[in-house]
Structures are given as C-alpha cells and as structure tokens.
C-alpha cells in the first residue's frame, strides 16, 4: 500500500481531517520517542526525532507530485503540515522547563 493512500485512509477511518491527523501524530510520536529514549518529552532529542520523521514525510509528499489529486506536493502545503505537526511538541519543549523552574521556586 502506498504511504499517501495509507495516511488518507487513516484519516477517513478516524473521521479527522488531514490537519488534525498531523497534530495528533506529532504528539503521539513525541510521547512514544520520549518513552523509548527514556527522556522527558521536553528534551531536545524527542523533538528532533519528530522533526526528522515529519521532514521525511513531507519530502515524500513533495516527491509524489502529480500522483495524488490533493496537492500535498506543493511546498506551502508541506510547510503548513510541518508547522502543524511540530506546533505542540515545540510548545511543550519550550514551556515545560519554565513550569518546572517556576514550581521549584514556588516550593522553596
């Protein structure tokens, strides 16, 4: 089965849009990689893995130009998908260390 077909069918089976699928998969990869690496989700390593996996996915989408009618091969669409996938993992990576520092100061 083609990767693009699989992604489209997954979205249809879950009854969610392509955009929502990117958001959910980004978070799922972040948490899974954090568990596998035994690092907190706000560590740079899980964040880097999410970015690499999503970059590979978008490169695949751009290379499949003309194969699918949904225009995923356009660069602006790939940038949009990358940003959606990385949004919450980046927010977690940037804010959770601040929360930890804030809580540590409060508990002193």
Structure confidence at residue 60 (pLDDT): 87
What is the pLDDT of the chain when averaged over all its residues? 87
Per-residue model confidence (pLDDT) at position 72: 55
From residue 84, give the alpha-carbon distance in Å to each of 27, 33, 38: 10, 18, 25
Q: What is the pLDDT of residues 44-84, one digit of tens each?
A: 999 999 999 999 999 888 887 555 555 555 788 889 999 99
At 107 the pLDDT is 73
Q: Which two tokens stand for residue 89?
A: 């993992």
pTM assigned to the model: 0.82
pLDDT score at 65: 59
CA distance 56 to 71: 17
Quick one: pLDDT at residue 27?
96
């Amino acid at each position: 089965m083609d990767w693009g077909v699989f992604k489209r069918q997954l979205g249809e089976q879950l009854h969610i849009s392509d955009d929502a699928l990117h958001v959910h998969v980004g978070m799922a990869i972040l948490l899974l990689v954090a568990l596998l690496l035994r690092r907190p989700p706000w560590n740079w390593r899980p964040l880097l893995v999410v970015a690499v996996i999503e970059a590979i996915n978008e490169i695949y989408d751009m290379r499949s130009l003309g194969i699918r009618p949904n225009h995923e091969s356009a660069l602006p669409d790939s940038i949009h998908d990358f940003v959606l996938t990385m949004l919450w993992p980046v927010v977690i990576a940037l804010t959770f260390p601040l929360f930890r520092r804030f809580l540590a100061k409060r508990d002193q």
